[in-house]
Each structure stands twice: as C-alpha cells, then as structure tokens.
Amino acid sequence: MSPDMSSGDGGPASAAEPAMERQPATFFDISAPAVATGAAFFMIVLDTSIVNLALARIGAELHAGLATLQWLVDGYLLVFASLLLGAGALGDRVGARVAFACGLLVFTVASACCGLAPSIGTLQIARIAQGIGAALLLPNSLAALNSAFADPDRRSKAIALWASAGAAGVALGPVLGGFLVETLGWRAIFIVNVPVGLMALQLTHRRMAAGPRDRSRAFDPLGQLLSVGTLAAATYVLIGLGHPTAGGIPLGLAAAASLAFAIGFVAVETRHRSPMLPLDLLRRPALGPVALVGLLHNAAIYGLIFVLSLAFQHLRGLNPLGAGLLFLPLTLALAIGTRGGALALRRCGPFGPLIWGHLAAAIGAFALAVLGGSLTAAGLTLPLVVIGAGAGATTPAMNLAALDSVSRAQGGLASGVLNSARQTGGVIGVAVLGALLGEPATFIGAEAAEYVAAGLLCLASALAVAAGKRQRSF
C-alpha cells in the first residue's frame, strides 16, 4: 500500500514546501518555527532535571516520602519513555505540526496543573500528563521543523537552533530551578512553562507550515499499553525494593505482571502489521547494542543527578539555589562535552567517544564515592566536570551509531528506539539508585554506594561498547 501523503490542510504534500519557498524569507519567517520547536525542546529537557532541585521542598510541604518523590521524577520519565515511539507514529499519520501543537497544549496545561496542585497525588497525576505532552513534543518538534524548510541551508540552521535550545536546558536547568524554588517557591518551576508554551503555540499556529501526512501508518494501541504496563510494573518493583510499604501491591505480583506484559508486548509486536517497535531492528548489528548503551548511560546520569540533588540539600545543608549552582560544573561540562564529542566523531567515529567518554564518567563517579563526603563545594568541581564532559562526549556518538545502523528512511525510527531506551534508562536509574539511597536519615551511609553504582553503570556502558566493537557493531 502506498503512503497517502497530504498536507495538514488537505492539499497535496508536494505543493506545501514550494509554497513556503515562494514567500518572502524574512528573519521572523525563518526563525519562528525554530523558536517554537526550540522552546518545546528546552521545556522537555528542563523538566527532566529542574524538578530534582525542588524535591526537598515539595516533600516537606506536601508531606511526601522518598518513594513518593521518586515517582514524581519517574512518573514523568516512564510515560515519556513508553509513548515516544507511538507519538512519532501518530505524528506521521496526522501530521507533525498537529501532533506537536497537541503536545504543546497538553504539556502547558499539565504544567499549570502541577503548579496549582493542592496535594501530592494531584501533582503526581499532573506530572504523568506532562510526560504525555513531552512524548508528543520530542519526536514531532524535530519532524515539524524538518518539514518547515525546503532549503537545506535554512533547515540546518533551524535544527542547530533547536539543538542549542536543548543544550541550554541542560546547562541552565539546575540554576534556573534553584533560583525559582528559592525566590518564588517550588510551584514556580512548573508555572514558568505556561507562558513559554503559550508563546510556542501561537508561533506554531501562525508561522509553521503544515507538513505531510502518511495515512498508511497504523496505530498499535495494544503494544503501546503493554509497553507502559511493563515499565510501570518494573518501576514499582524497583522503587518498592528500597521502600517496602504495607498495603500495596505485593512486589512478587508486580514483578510477575511486568514479565507477563513484556511477553505480551513481544508477541503483539511480532504479529502487528505496523508495530510500534519493529523487533527486527534490534537485531541489527549496532542498533541493539547502542540502545543498551543508551539505557545504561541514562540510568547512571539520571540516577546520579537525582541522588546529588538530595545529597546537596540534606547532607550539605544547601538551599535550592546553592544546590543548583553546585550542579553548574556538571551541566556546563555536559554541554561542552557534547560539542567535543561531535568534533571527535570526525576523527575516529563513534567507538572512541563512547569508550573514553563512559570511562571518564565512571572515574568521576568513583572519585565522588571516595572523596565526595569530605570535599568542599569547590572540591566537588573536578569530579563533576569529569562526569559531565565524559557523559556529554558520548551523546553525539550514540546518535550517529544508531542512525548508521539503519537505512536513511528508517532514521526517525532508529532515533526513536534510542531515545526510548535512554528515557527508560532514566526511569530505572532513579528507581534503583533512589531505592539504594533510602530515606534522608540513612543518606550519610548510602551516599558513597550510590556513586559507586553510577560508576559501575558507566563502566558497563563502556564494556558494552567494547563487546560491540569486537562483534564489529560499531
């Protein structure tokens, strides 16, 4: 069956792009789509880290324990990770601009609900809604931007602006989050998304052209539900291991449910004519290994950031702004390391940055384990820079290895697989390292163990790359 490619307004797709090019190319016409999609990317990245700086205040005000705070982070990441592939397919079918605009609306409304939440339960539900919006935004922001420009030079500049917005979210997230929590309260970290989202919605409606639609893309609702169930049940087990509670679902039952959901997911994806995750892709020489590397990578980094955000405030007595400033060496090094990793790709391909970057991050994490409790704030700078620079250097290499493993036509799907694996790793990292950490009273004894665990995950990433290299996957 040939794809039914049409523009968002019902006209032929082939006429959409030339129409854009005949319009006067003012600076605003060129930059508006990049600003709209970049703002969305900035918010997505921001909300994966900014909440960590507010956890201590949220827990105190809404009377939430550590397990509940873990769900505030993991509820967002879980839904985000589970829906990424399905959201990309939805964008292909209804048009990237439509899916992107829906994501903006959901994310903006959910952010307002987070900021106004009267209880921890309401906040958790609103965070899940944010994850749904983020899943719609990430794949469709880049797809909408890609289809907005027919001229390759304008497209490349717009995508560079989009990527820079994500890097800015990484670098500024902790400091901005700490400042907002300290000056305006924790609710401000969510409310700040509202004007940004409304601005992006306005630009999308007025300045972004409708892209093509592929009506041949079928939905996979059962596969989508089973993927969410698998990850949700597994996360419940991992968090519950560190914080057992009476009256909840028995962990053994939850583990069995996760296994059953996973088996059902594989069975559905094997038989579906247009599966959310074509399982044969994971058997490609590089894509399966690089997805595993991405999962381990994010488990280490997201778990480490979660632990550090609590340790800085509970153990060192820092306020949220002070904790945010202490994160600055890590986040700036991440952004700089990403640029360095991109340059290294031109010289040695993805293997070198993936190996040495993860080894550097592991060394930094082990240094924190040995010295972290005795170091001053200034003394923490070097280990955090090493972790950030190493982790950042691996990011371009992971993306290139994933894209090189498939044909050009499957690039979007390969990117979706990698991003889903990475976000799943974030869920696992927060669950596992948070479970090992325990409640605040036990932080002092558990802090070093957390850093060792993060270092071992980075080391496992490097070993997975080395194994893949021996099998000529990289």
- Contact in structure between 13 and 215 (CB atoms under 8 Å): no
Q: Say which range, 72-86, 287-301, 391-405, has the weakest mean pLDDT.
A: 391-405
pLDDT band, very low/low/confident/very high, at 364 (cuts 50, 70, 90): very high
316: pLDDT strictly greater than 90: no
Looking at the predicted structure, is the pLDDT value of residue 213 above 70? no
Taking the domain 280-474, which CATH number applies? 1.20.1250.20
Higher pLDDT, 349 or 393: 393
Give the residue among 426, 397, 425, 413 at the shortest CA–CA distance from 84: 413
Confidence of residue 170 (pLDDT cuts 50, 70, 90): confident
Beta strands, E only, 141-226: 213-214
Structure tokens at 290: 């690089």
Is the CA virtual torsion 375, 54, 244, 241 positive or negative? negative
H/E element holding 6?
A: strand 5-6
Q: What is the CA radius of gyration of the chain?
A: 22
Residue type, 64: A
Which DSSP state fits 213? E
C-alpha distances in angstroms, 256 versus 105, 223, 251, 431? 36, 18, 9, 18
Q: Which of 10-24, 230-244, 301-315, 455-469 has the highest average model confidence (pLDDT)?
A: 455-469
- Residues paired with 213 in a beta bridge: 6
Question: Which of 351, 369, 385 has the alpha carbon at shortest distance from 453?
Answer: 369
Name the more confident of 7 and 158: 158
pLDDT > 70? residue 178: yes
What pLDDT sits at residue 437?
A: 67
More confident call, 356 vs 473: 356
Q: Given this model, what pLDDT does residue 297 score? A: 92
pLDDT at residue 26, as a whole number: 46
The pLDDT score that the predictor gives to residue 247 is 56
Looking at the DSSP bridge assignments, the partners of residue 5 are: 214
d(C-alpha 95, C-alpha 143), whole Å: 9
- Judged against a pLDDT cut of 80, whether residue 270 lies above it is answered with yes
Q: How many residues does the chain have?
A: 474
**pLDDT value at residue 359:** 95
pLDDT at position 33, please?
81
Q: Which residue has the higher pLDDT, 41 or 66?
A: 41
For the chain, residues classed under CATH 1.20.1250.20 are 24-206, 280-474
Q: Where residue 5 falls among pLDDT bands split at 50, 70, 90?
A: very low
As a whole number of angstroms, the distance between CA 211 and CA 391 comes to 35
* More reliable by pLDDT, 193 or 314: 193
Dist. CA 415–CA 239, nearest whole Å: 28
For 101, counting Cβ atoms within 10 Å of its Cβ (0-12 exposed, 13-18 middle, 19+ buried), the class is buried
Residue 436 in this model has a pLDDT that exceeds 80: no
Q: Which amino acid is at 371?
A: L
pLDDT tops 70 at residue 203: yes
Q: What is the mean pLDDT of residues 116-122?
A: 93
Query: pLDDT at residue 302 above 70?
Result: yes
β-strand 213-214 against 5-6: which pairing, if any?
A: antiparallel
Q: Which fold has domain 24-206?
A: Growth Hormone; Chain: A; (1.20.1250)
Give the chain's mean pLDDT.
80
**How far is 421 from 399, CA to CA, in rounded Å?**
12
Q: What's the burial of 119, exposed, middle or buried (CB within 10 Å: 0-12/13-18/19+)? A: exposed
Position 398 scores a pLDDT of: 85
Give Cβ neighbours of residue 318 (< 8 Å, ≥ 6 apart). 312, 326
Distance between CA 452 and CA 365 in Å, rounded?
7
Alpha-carbon dihedral sign for residues 179, 184, 190, 192: negative
Q: Are 13 and 7 in contact (CB under 8 A)?
A: yes
Q: How confident is the model at residue 256 (pLDDT cuts 50, 70, 90)?
A: very high
Helix H segments across 315-409? 320-348, 351-371, 381-404
Q: What's the confidence (pLDDT) of residue 103?
A: 93
Contact 295, 421 (CB under 8 A): yes
At 4 the pLDDT is 38
How many angstroms separate the Cα of 54 from the Cα of each of 182, 367, 441? 9, 26, 19
Amino acid at 51: V
pLDDT of residue 440 exceeding 80: no
What confidence score (pLDDT) does residue 314 get?
A: 67
Region label for 95, one of left (φ > 0), alpha (ψ between -120 and 50) or beta (otherwise): left
**Residue 259 CB neighbour total at 10 angstroms:** 13
Cβ-contact 25, 153 below 8 angstroms: no
pLDDT of residue 441 exceeding 60, the answer is no
Asked if 209 and 20 touch (Cβ cutoff 8 Å), the reply is yes
Q: What are phi and psi of 231, to 5 degrees?
A: -70, -40
Torsion angle defined by CA atoms of residues 59, 65, 70 and 76, in that order, rounded to the nearest 10 degrees = -60
Share of the chain above pLDDT 90, in %: 23
Is the pLDDT at 38 greater than 90, yes or no? no
